[in-house]
Amino acid sequence: MTVSVAQIQQYLSDNPASMPGQVAQALSITELEVVTALPTEQLALLPLTAKDNLLASLPEWGNMTTIISVSGSIFEFKGHFPKGKYAHGYYNLITKGEGLHGHLKLDDISAIALISKPFRGTESHSINFFGTQGEVVFKVYLGRDKKRVLLSDQVERFQALKDSCTATA
């Protein structure tokens, strides 16, 4: 059964607290299909040609939360997103000592979505990397201070990135 954008938007309207992954599961569609149906004020798609600049800049943003969701399990890392470099077909995250590290297969990234959607009634912004099947590969959420308030400099960077996407669209 094909689900239309209007049906996705109606589901989102009826269930505003639902996260895109929950909506995708409920409607038996991909998370990317849900995300691309979000209202324009909640979504900007970053051109894939900008991914290298984005990944090069993320280490300068400060503490954030990187999330990887696999088979219902959720892994979170709070800290700086590491610098990286290309080698052997991967973008290798370079961490000195402890921290997030790994190898990103960026050739398999089909979309990068900048999402501004409240989470449990709280302002939230994330950068979502999608694979070729419309699945989320990983997400990077903006950081918060000890009082759980978003870091204003990150919000400014995120908004500038979103604005640059809409300017080029």
% of the chain with per-residue pLDDT over 90? 76
pTM given for the model: 0.93
| Domain 41-168 architecture | 3-Layer(aba) Sandwich (3.40)
* Residue whose tokens read 């939230």: 124
User: Which parts of 46-151 fold into alpha helices (H)?
Assistant: 51-57
Structure confidence at residue 121 (pLDDT): 79
- List the 136-141 sheet strands across, edge first: 43-46, 109-116, 125-131, 136-141, 63-70, 73-80
Distance (Å, rounded) from C-alpha 18 to C-alpha 128? 16
The rounded mean pLDDT for the chain is: 92
Would you say residue 50 has pLDDT above 70?
Answer: yes
Angle at 158 between CA 133 and CA 168, to 5 degrees: 70
Q: Mind listing the pLDDT tens digit for each residue in 96-108?
A: 777 888 889 999 9
